[in-house]
Amino acid sequence: MKKIVNAAGHCQAFAEKMSEEGFHLPSLPIDDGQVHRFATPTDKKGKKSGWYVLHTHPYPFGTFGCHRQGPPWYQWSQQHQKPASREAIENNQRAMAILRNHQKKRELQTQQQAALKCLHLWNSAATVSSHAYLKNKEVLSYGLRQIAGDLLIPVHDEHYQLTSLQRISSSHNDQGMHFHKRFFPGGKTAGCFYQTRRKASPNRAVI
């Protein structure tokens, strides 16, 4: 599809609206009705969580936002005094559906790659029976592992497949010992769990 750029008109007005909401494009937006990605001020290097869609038919109408932050999404129309037409809304909805599908595919790919890395890390770790964090909480290991002094807690989905790891490290200062918890970047954690291995009450799930 041919890209239409109007440097003096609605593209500039749309970019100004985005700037008002804290989104700054490196160049003027493209009004081809397609989803375009850009880096936001809070993105890490190489990330592009910002997005926008700008239409020209039946009149200039656009939507933008940040998929990392989620709704609310922002809308803009050159016909501020009139509501968006049905055609404009339908065009925008189609673009949004494409965006959501793209995001789901990227998220799934990221989670799959993270799961493979976590499995390799877990297989490389040593079984641990004692750790500073476990002593502090006065709990047993229940099959946990450690690597480079950090405690590893596996995260499983409903099929008991490893999806991520929680890594717990410790540090000392004048106020005593502190523990730092972090999940593996990109790993799936929503709806997942770690179940301790208990001999008693085998049907009891520990969340």
Dihedral sign computed on CA atoms, order 185, 188, 193, 195: negative
Residue 142 CA to residue 197 CA, distance in Å, equals 6
Residue 61 CA to residue 141 CA, distance in Å, equals 57
> What was the pLDDT predicted at 5?
42
Q: Is the pLDDT of residue 202 over 60?
A: no
> What was the pLDDT predicted at 84?
59
Closest C-alpha among 58, 50, 6 to residue 29? 6
Give 76-126 pLDDT, tens digit per residue. Answer: 887 654 555 677 677 767 776 776 787 788 889 999 999 999 999 999 999
Is this model's pTM higher than 0.85 or not?
no
Q: How many CB atoms lie within 10 A of CB 46?
A: 6
Give 20-44 pLDDT, tens digit per residue. Answer: 999 999 999 998 888 899 999 888 8
Mean per-residue pLDDT of the chain: 83
Q: What is the mean pLDDT of residues 140-157?
A: 93
> What was the pLDDT predicted at 3?
41
What are the backbone dihedrals phi and psi of residue 188, each rounded to the nearest 5 degrees, phi first? -75, 130
